[in-house]
């Protein structure tokens, strides 16, 4: 008799994501649990309707506490063996979940995995480096030709054994945005087991974020990136890059582009705010 007990829960943190979440939900195989975390979206009613129409559980956060905290909220609702943290603007290709589950069985020491991620234009996406990694651990460009251990994982589609996720305390709640997946990857690798790239499991990153490309949105993201760069860099003993950030403030682009100017000033202010605590 075939075992039909679900082994995987998909967790997707949503913030004004209703333009892209239907395609992700439509790609989920029948019988796979889905938890959507509403990170204080302005389109909450529409997201609730989408969740109900796809039999997904919806968890609401009364405030946007960041991507990592949203992931932790979703994971707390899961009871399955595996967790797949999947961006709302991604799609699972045929057999992706089954291939990841099979890979976990084949590589019992592995703590977490990335599938083969394709960008919307068909190009390969492979996370090969991080500011939290020493240069010697950076990997070659492009997908590996076969399954292999890797230095770091992307949070766009991160497949993790739930027991390992819980053992390291999940995502660091002190990181609001940026480098939270790098930090989790490194802790999993150090404390629980290798990170893997799985060639036969495929996910498409379809894009289509609703975030406006304007100086205000650029500044918001850059400020949090600056804070995360300092906090996570210190945590993992890597250079933070204060001088580089300061030099960018005198770039000619500061005069020519309001968006660039807002972004670089906000990044620098975020770094300074992290230094203050």
Q: What number of other Cβ atoms are within 10 A of residue 26's Cβ?
A: 10
Residues paired with residue 148 on neighbouring β-strands, in sequence order: 197
Average pLDDT score over residue span 69-84: 98
| Res 256 pLDDT > 90 | no
Where does a domain end: 158, 176, 205?
205
Q: Would you place residue 211 in the very low, low, confident or very high pLDDT band (cuts 50, 70, 90)?
A: low
**Is residue 201 domain-shared with residue 220, that is, in the same domain?**
no
Q: Residue 252: give the domain boundaries.
A: 215-276
pLDDT in tens, 121-134: 999 999 999 999 99
Residue-level pLDDT at 4: 77
C-alpha closest to that of 70 among 62, 61, 83: 61
**Is residue 237 domain-shared with residue 263, that is, in the same domain?**
yes
**Is residue 237 domain-shared with residue 179, that is, in the same domain?**
no
**Is residue 130 domain-shared with residue 224, that is, in the same domain?**
no
| Res 2 pLDDT > 70 | no
| Res 1 pLDDT > 60 | no
**Is residue 188 domain-shared with residue 229, that is, in the same domain?**
no
Average pLDDT score over residue span 231-248: 94
Residue-level pLDDT at 276: 82
pLDDT in tens, 79-135: 999 999 999 999 999 999 999 999 999 999 999 999 999 999 999 999 999 999 999
Domain membership flag for residue 172: yes
| Res 210 pLDDT > 50 | no
Between the alpha carbon of residue 136 and those of residues 133, 197, 236, the distances in Å are 8, 19, 15
pLDDT in tens, 8-52: 999 999 999 999 999 999 999 999 999 999 999 999 999 999 999
**Is residue 54 domain-shared with residue 163, that is, in the same domain?**
yes
Average pLDDT score over residue span 214-225: 90
| Res 238 pLDDT > 60 | yes
| Res 209 pLDDT > 70 | no
**Is residue 72 domain-shared with residue 153, that is, in the same domain?**
yes
Please tell me the number of Cα atoms within 13 Å of 11 on its side-chain side: 27
**Is residue 250 domain-shared with residue 128, that is, in the same domain?**
no
- Please count the structural domains in the chain: 2
Domain membership flag for residue 73: yes
**Is residue 117 domain-shared with residue 236, that is, in the same domain?**
no
Average pLDDT score over residue span 52-64: 96
**Is residue 266 domain-shared with residue 130, that is, in the same domain?**
no
**Is residue 30 domain-shared with residue 55, that is, in the same domain?**
yes
Q: Is the dihedral of CA 69, 178, 205, 142 positive or negative?
A: negative
Mean pLDDT for the chain? Answer: 94
Where does a domain end: 205, 223, 250?
205
Domain membership flag for residue 1: no
Where does a domain end: 149, 172, 205?
205
Domain membership flag for residue 257: yes
Domain membership flag for residue 88: yes
**Is residue 120 domain-shared with residue 157, that is, in the same domain?**
yes
Percent of the chain surpassing pLDDT 70: 97
Looking up residue 96, the CATH number of its domain turns out to be 3.90.550.10
Identify the three-state secondary structure at position 102.
Answer: helix
Domain membership flag for residue 94: yes
| Res 225 pLDDT > 90 | yes
Domain membership flag for residue 95: yes
């Amino acid at each position: 008799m075939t075992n039909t007990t679900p082994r995987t829960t998909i967790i997707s943190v949503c913030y004004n994501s209703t333009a892209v979440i239907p395609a992700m939900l439509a790609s989920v195989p029948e019988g796979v649990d889905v938890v959507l975390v509403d990170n204080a979206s302005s389109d909450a009613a529409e997201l609730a309707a989408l969740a109900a129409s796809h039999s997904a559980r919806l968890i609401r956060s009364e405030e946007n506490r960041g991507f990592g905290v949203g992931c932790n909220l979703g994971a707390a609702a899961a009871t399955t063996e595996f967790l797949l943290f999947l961006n709302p603007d991604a799609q699972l290709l045929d057999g992706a979940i089954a291939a990841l589950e099979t890979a976990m069985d084949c590589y019992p020491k592995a703590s977490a995995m990335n599938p083969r991620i394709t960008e919307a234009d068909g190009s390969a996406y492979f996370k090969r480096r991080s500011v939290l990694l020493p240069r010697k651990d950076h990997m070659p460009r492009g997908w590996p030709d076969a399954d292999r251990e890797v230095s770091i994982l992307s949070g766009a589609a991160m497949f993790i054994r739930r027991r390992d996720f819980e053992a390291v305390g999940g995502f660091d709640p002190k990181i609001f945005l940026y480098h939270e997946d790098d930090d989790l990857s490194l802790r999993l690798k150090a404390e629980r087991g290798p990170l893997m790239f799985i060639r036969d499991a495929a996910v498409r990153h379809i894009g289509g974020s609703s975030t406006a490309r304007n100086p205000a949105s650029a500044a918001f993201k850059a400020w949090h990136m600056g804070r995360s760069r300092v906090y996570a860099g210190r945590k993992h003993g890597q250079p933070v890059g204060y001088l580089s950030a300061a030099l960018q403030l005198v770039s000619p682009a500061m005069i020519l582009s309001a968006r660039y100017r807002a972004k670089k000033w906000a990044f620098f202010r975020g770094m300074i705010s992290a230094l203050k605590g």
